[in-house]
Amino acid sequence: MRFVGVSGQTGMVKNLPPVGRTFTHLLVNTAVAGLTTSFLWFALTFWAYLETRSVLATGVIGGAYMLFVSASSIVFGSVVDHHRKITVMRLSSVTTLVLFVVAAVFYHRVPGAALTDLQQPWFWMLAVLILIGSVVEHMRNIALSTCVTILVPEAERARANGLVGTAQGITFLATSVLSGLAIGYLGMGWTMVVACAAVGIGLVHLLTIRMPQEPEPAAAGSDDQGRVAIRGSIALIAASAGLFALIFFSTFNNFIGGVYMALMDPYGLEMFDVTVWGLVLGATSLGFIVGGGLVARFGLGPRPVRTMLLCVVAMGALGAVFTIREWAWLFVVGIFLYMCLIPAIEAAEQTIIQRVVPLERQGRVFGFAMAVETAAAPLTAFLIAPIAARWIIPFARSESGQLAIEPLVGAGTPVSRGIALVFLGAGLIMVVVGLLALVSPAYRALSTTYAAAVPPPTAELGQPVTPTAGEVVATASAAAALTLSPPPPPDGAGSAADVAGVPPPGAPRDGHVPQDP
């Protein structure tokens, strides 16, 4: 992928001009931050199951994580809109570092037997400290999505979002491998020390990054400064026909994700040793990289909503069959293909929002979307974990249960066959809902909204955009294009502010385009 520089010239990633370098540094730093928080969160989940052998504990941990993400996302979005994105990222890193250090000290001060006793509060206190430290990192993800709007022309955003998916895939690959190896060979104590050190190193790198393309936040002149403004964000979403449907469509992915969150690790740890399971997750997460790379290379097509829903249907089909027999190869291939689909679904949503929502509101809309979508996962996780532990798995252990489910999910251990039965049902529901969405009026309305929100011409490779002198730029797409490739003003044509399209004093601030100092 190429980015257009301020001079209108192009270059590959190794020779990126200033805007491209800024985006690359932010992308890499956010990926490392995600790796570190996911590393410790995965490690906590592995450690909790191995120490307690409790499916309920892992389900509650996973569900609580998504519940915290959901509850905090709208607030995070407001913070992103009203502050410079680089400042938000630094705040997130500092908060995560402090909480992880406190968790590490807590772990080393509480005796091991008391810490793994689920009847006492110490295990849950440790989980909450790590949970909050990991959840705060999601504020960086919202900030990065708005940075794509600021730094990347509209025509290139689907591919840029694909690069974000690729980076997440690399993060998940490394996280899965390292978490399993860390718990297997180092134990939870040293794993926490490594996580704290990695967060500290990432913070030092983040302090060296500058983002002159955003001297002030786009919402700086709005009258809702400092407020969460949920009502305003909902009104903005409602004003775009089908945008609520987009958020609802995206929750399909998290509906089945909540089932996996609660039961995937127990299933994998029943089949593999913890170190092998970590390697399996790492290998299959190559699907993230493959899927993100395909989106970065080819984009999402002219109808990203349709692309997203077809991926949802395929994801449901995979979820129904990849554990239908207790075969390791089927399980591994199914996870890989599932991972390939995730970047396309996420990139589709981001691309649509980046086109139809003004920049000054994007943080809150992304936050609202994250809140609604992630709420689906903890609901299903909290619901399915106790059902599986108290009814489905015991049923699979009984003689009558084995005879009943064997035609559907084959023979095997009671735990794995019970979980496979849950996966089969969840996947089939996902397929049906996705197919119904493809023929719904909401789908047609959203497709029309996206097609109607045609952005102004953006910078083609090597061809700078030439705005009219004094023109007010009212969309995020135009702002990105002008920021990336502002043309030099002709002799006597007026000030640089006029050429860049900055409104005169007293004009509305919606079209304000920040200039590099």
Please check whether residue 513 is in contact with residue 473, taking contact to mean a CB–CB distance below 8 angstroms.
Answer: yes
Given pLDDT bands bounded at 50, 70 and 90, which one contains residue 132? very high
Which pLDDT score is estimated for 454?
67
Select the highest-mean-pLDDT range: 38-42, 202-206, 291-295: 202-206
For residues 341, 344, 350 and 352, what is the CA-based torsion angle, rounded to 10 degrees?
-130
Which pLDDT score is estimated for 225?
53
Which pLDDT score is estimated for 463?
40
For residues 139-153, give the mean pLDDT.
86
Main-chain dihedrals φ then ψ at residue 210, nearest 5 degrees: -115, 145
Coarse DSSP helix, strand, coil percentages of the chain, rounded to the nearest 5 percent: 75, 0, 25
Q: Which two tokens stand for residue 181?
A: 């190896």
> To which H or E segment does residue 391 belong?
none
Q: Which two tokens stand for residue 42?
A: 């995965």
pTM over 0.75: no
For residues 365-371, give the mean pLDDT.
84
Which pLDDT score is estimated for 449?
86
Q: Letter for the amino acid at 35?
A: L
Please check whether residue 307 is in contact with residue 300, taking contact to mean a CB–CB distance below 8 angstroms.
Answer: yes
Given pLDDT bands bounded at 50, 70 and 90, which one contains residue 91? very high
Which pLDDT score is estimated for 229?
58
Residue 103 scores a pLDDT above 60 = yes
Question: Domains in the chain, start-ordered, CATH in brackets?
Answer: 20-211 (1.20.1250.20), 232-452 (1.20.1250.20)
- Residue, of 27 and 517, whose pLDDT is higher: 27
Q: What is the pLDDT of residues 296-336, one digit of tens each?
A: 888 898 899 899 999 999 999 999 999 999 999 999 999 99
Residues of the chain with pLDDT > 70: what percent? Answer: 80
Which pLDDT score is estimated for 101?
96
Given pLDDT bands bounded at 50, 70 and 90, which one contains residue 89? very high
> To which H or E segment does residue 3 belong?
strand 3-4
For the residues of 143-200, what is the DSSP string, one character each?
Answer: HHHHHHHHHS-GGGHHHHHHHHHHHHHHHHHHHHHHHHHHHHHTHHHHHHHHHHHHHH
Within a 13 Å sphere around the CA of 156, how many CA atoms are in the beta-carbon half? 22
For residues 461-488, give the mean pLDDT.
37
Residue 195 scores a pLDDT above 90 = yes
User: 3-class DSSP state for residue 372?
Assistant: helix
Rounded to whole angstroms, the Cα distance separating 37 from 21 reads 24
For residues 230-250, give the mean pLDDT.
75
- Residue, of 266 and 510, whose pLDDT is higher: 266
Which pLDDT score is estimated for 438?
92
Given pLDDT bands bounded at 50, 70 and 90, which one contains residue 477? very low
Rounded to whole angstroms, the Cα distance separating 24 from 402 reads 53
- Residue, of 218 and 167, whose pLDDT is higher: 167
Q: Which two tokens stand for residue 372?
A: 């609604």
Q: Which residues neighbour 337 within 8 Å (Cβ) at sequence distance 6 or greater?
A: 287, 318, 322
Rounded to whole angstroms, the Cα distance separating 378 from 60 reads 8
- Residue, of 204 and 506, whose pLDDT is higher: 204
Residue 414 scores a pLDDT above 70 = yes
User: 3-class DSSP state for residue 4?
Assistant: strand
For residues 244-248, give the mean pLDDT.
82
> What average pLDDT does the chain have?
78
- Residue, of 1 and 46, whose pLDDT is higher: 46
Which pLDDT score is estimated for 194?
94
